[in-house]
Amino acid sequence: MVSPLAVKGGEALRTRPWPAWPQPAPGVPAAVAEVLGSGRWSISGPYRGTDSHERRFARAFADYHGVPYCVPAASGTAGLMLALEACGVGAGDEVIVPGLSWVASGSTVLGVNAVPVFCDVDPDTLCVSPEAVEALITERTRAVVVVHLYSAVADMDGLTRVAERHGLPLVEDCAQAHGASYRGVKVGALATAGTFSMQHSKVLTSGEGGAVITRDADLARRVEHLRADGRCLSDGPPAPGAMELVETGELMGSNRCLSEFQAAILTEQLTLLDEQNRTRRANAARLDGLLGELGLRPQATSEGTTSRTYYTYAARLPEGALEDVPLTDVTGALTAELGFPVQPCYAPIPANRLYVPQTRRRYTLGPDHEARIDPKRFALPVCEDTARRTVTLHHAALLGDAEDMADIAAAFAKVLRHGADLAT
């Protein structure tokens, strides 16, 4: 007799623990202890005669991506806002962003008083396509943001051509793609600027944090000023005890700096990133085969992708299966079988309960602006269809082994087999 679904009182398919996340690198405790006793916990603290951990991480992260400049920031959200402002985006400008993404893809644009224009996505990669972006460009468009979503890399050849044809800065949001590459170049280094999040769930994390990378010296300097109250780091070391941040008066900013503790952790975590990404890729390939046999359609990536990063494993349910069952019931049943969270994919941002510009008085800039930022004006059929049929697993599951991948596939098979039970 086949056991009923765990959510219907049956026995769960799995009770063994899953890999934990985050997994601290061996050097993290010593690095944090060094900061603790250093007398300098932030870049705005007094210079102590040695490079700050923030400078060390910035060098390491820039070198990792093959670019000359990296400016760490307090969060991925901060990094996106810094990059947009550094590119000249401001009040009333339009910024084209994916309609399927974390809510910050829209709220960061609002945060610089600009207008997010939500773009539908490619049904296979779930990233914006060059054709869809170009169709939305108007005389008010000031920038395009591309998100490398879940495990896919967007079509950067086509997007770069569109941006160059219209003279627009192209910003890569790589919050979910640390270490991925396109035609041999790491993402973030392919456009005007690349932004990253180091929030708790990310494949490179210090709990919170972010960064902006670029090949453009002037843009990097603007980002530096914007994230440190209008100050930038001195060219050479100051006297011990003096401030390393110089008050240039070039550009007013705000405090969006990374702490020394976070920078120290990130420098150590970066040493594990490639190895962990290899493990995730190998397990994702196993899962592609196992779930493909069940009729699921794993997320694809663009043709130019040379290396994927799996922040989230995403797959579309088989056509004709579980169509009368709410996706949250499907993911709830999978979670109960595995003891590991399986989630629906993101809701389209205009329909996301977290995206409600009217709840913030700062965006009440007049009837015209309020009409332009009204989420109801966007129709995103591919995003909406994807959200109804796509399930996701966090990358921690991919740090397991072949037996773990078999358990995931077995849970999907069990839920698909008992679909009628979920419909009642």
Asked if the structure places residue 327 within a domain, the reply is: no
Q: Considering the entire predicted model, what is its pTM?
A: 0.96
**DSSP readout, 294-346?**
TT-EE----TTEEE---SEEEEEPPTTSSTTS-HHHHHHHHHHHHTS-EEEPP
Asked if the structure places residue 234 within a domain, the reply is: yes
pLDDT tens digits for range 127-185: 999 999 999 999 999 999 999 999 999 999 999 999 999 999 999 999 999 999 999 99
Asked if the structure places residue 128 within a domain, the reply is: yes
Which of 277, 266, 98, 276 is CA-nearest to residue 180? 277
Among the ranges given (100-104, 173-177, 346-350, 417-421), the one the predictor scored with the smallest mean pLDDT: 417-421
Q: 376-389: b or e for each residue (b if 16 or more CB lie within 10 Å)?
A: eebebebbbebbeb
User: Coil, strand or helix: which one is 99?
Assistant: coil
Q: Catalytic residue numbers?
A: 202
> What is the domain extent for residue 187?
28-271
Predicted local confidence at residue 3, as pLDDT = 73
- CB 330 within 8 Å of CB 422: yes
Asked if the structure places residue 281 within a domain, the reply is: no
Domain count, the chain: 1
Q: Sorting pLDDT into bands at 50, 70 and 90, what band is 345?
A: very high
Q: Sorting pLDDT into bands at 50, 70 and 90, what band is 423?
A: confident
Q: Sorting pLDDT into bands at 50, 70 and 90, what band is 2?
A: low
Residue 272: other Cβ atoms inside 10 A: 17
Residue 416 φ/ψ region, left for φ over 0, alpha for ψ in the -120 to 50 degree band, beta for the rest: alpha
Average the pLDDT over 288-317 and give the result: 98
Asked if the structure places residue 372 within a domain, the reply is: no
Asked if the structure places residue 8 within a domain, the reply is: no
pLDDT tens digits for range 255-295: 999 999 999 999 999 999 999 999 999 999 999 999 999 99
Predicted local confidence at residue 424, as pLDDT = 73
Asked if the structure places residue 420 within a domain, the reply is: no
- CB 18 within 8 Å of CB 341: no
Residue 81 has pLDDT above 80, yes or no: yes
pLDDT tens digits for range 182-215: 999 999 999 999 999 999 999 999 999 999 999 9
Which of 330, 333, 326 is CA-nearest to residue 391? 330
Asked if the structure places residue 18 within a domain, the reply is: no
CATH number, position 187: 3.40.640.10
